[in-house]
Chain A
Amino acid sequence: MPAKLDLFMNHFTSLLFRLTFLFTILLAPVVSEAQVEMADNFRGEGKIYVVIAIILIILTGFFYLLYRLDKKTKRLEKEISQNED
């Protein structure tokens, strides 16, 4: 009987070890992910939208400049082709 119990305990502990090992592997990425600092609070407080708004304003400004430059070039091209005729 003690021998049988011993065998059972052996099996049990090895199973326990395997389970712990398995959980460690499974949980490792979750744990390490939690430790990586991200700007979660910043996003939560909503201030990130201010940044996006400002970048978008600047981007729009540059697009507008490009658009105007495009127009000016077109006018110049027209003038030149009219002078040719």
Chain B
Amino acid sequence: MGYLLKTNWWKWLCIILLTYTIIGGLLLPVPKLPILNETIRVLHFHVPMWFGMILVFTGSVIYAIKYLKTNNSKFDIYSSQLASTGIAFGVLGIVTGMAWAAYTWGEPWSNDPKQNASAVSLLIYLAYFVLRNSLNDEQQRSRISAVYNIFAFTLMIPLLFILPRMTDSLHPGNGGNPALSAVDLDNDLRKVFYTAVIGWTLLGYWIASINIRLSLAHQKIENAS
């Protein structure tokens, strides 16, 4: 994160990749699948929200651990701002998923195990901010929320990746069918999908980096006065 705060080249990479994602995602050929029809293109926009969320939360939990090791308040700011960006990605992921499901599964919320588990996982992360805002002592807030961050991250893994796979689910990648198989993700889709994941994740880090810098500036002003 320290490196990302100092450099700018990856922001340009983000702009290029996302521009390519829009053009390629809407124009390049896609597999012709029943029910899905053209909505298969949502793959480049809905799925990267979740990939981006997980990658941003990974950054968040790494800095939570770093904070616990060093007690440096800088890492607490990194961790919390990354977490809030991650939640924004998760909310966008769930809303776009509902819109997609309304046209392919028949209803926006079918209590599918994947939907329920991702909602629970988001609620756990929302509680992270409830916890943060309820503690007044700075050191205590940083320490407890860092521990809770690790807890939330480790809960997210089984909620998103293991539990939905143990039952039947409409969502690709669950109930026995892998999502990134040759059937679900053919070579036409791959050309855009991977760049989309990197592009959207970089956008997340970009937004988080601005929030982090503003938080650091705020902290400096408070310390000076």
Could you tell me which B residues sit within 8 Å of A by CB distance? Answer: 11, 15, 18-19, 22-23, 26-27, 32-34, 37-38, 206-207, 210, 213-214, 216-217, 220-221, 224
Are the C-beta atoms of A73 and B214 separated by less than 8 Å? yes
A40 to B11 alpha-carbon distance, docked (Å): 35
Are the C-beta atoms of A56 and B19 separated by less than 8 Å? yes
The interface residues of chain B lying within 8 Å CB-to-CB of A33 are 32
A66 to B, closest residue via Cβ: B206
Among candidates B34, B213, B217, B221, residue contacting A35 with C-beta atoms closer than 8 Å = B34
A37 to B, closest residue via Cβ: B37
Are the C-beta atoms of B18 and A59 separated by less than 8 Å? yes
Q: Is A8 in the interface zone, CB < 8 Å from B?
A: no
B221 to A, closest residue via Cβ: A80
Among candidates B18, B27, B210, B221, residue contacting A48 with C-beta atoms closer than 8 Å = B27
Are the C-beta atoms of B210 and A73 separated by less than 8 Å? yes
Can you list 24 A-B pairs with a CB-CB distance of less than 8 A? A33-B32, A35-B34, A36-B33, A38-B32, A48-B27, A52-B22, A52-B27, A55-B22, A55-B26, A59-B18, A59-B22, A63-B15, A66-B11, A66-B207, A66-B210, A69-B210, A70-B206, A73-B214, A73-B217, A74-B213, A80-B217, A80-B220, A80-B221, A80-B224
Are the C-beta atoms of B34 and A32 separated by less than 8 Å? yes
19 additional A-B residue pairs with CB within 8 Å, beyond A36-B33, A73-B214, A84-B224 = A48-B26, A52-B27, A56-B19, A59-B18, A59-B19, A59-B22, A66-B11, A66-B207, A66-B210, A70-B11, A70-B210, A74-B213, A76-B214, A77-B213, A77-B217, A80-B217, A80-B220, A83-B224, A84-B220
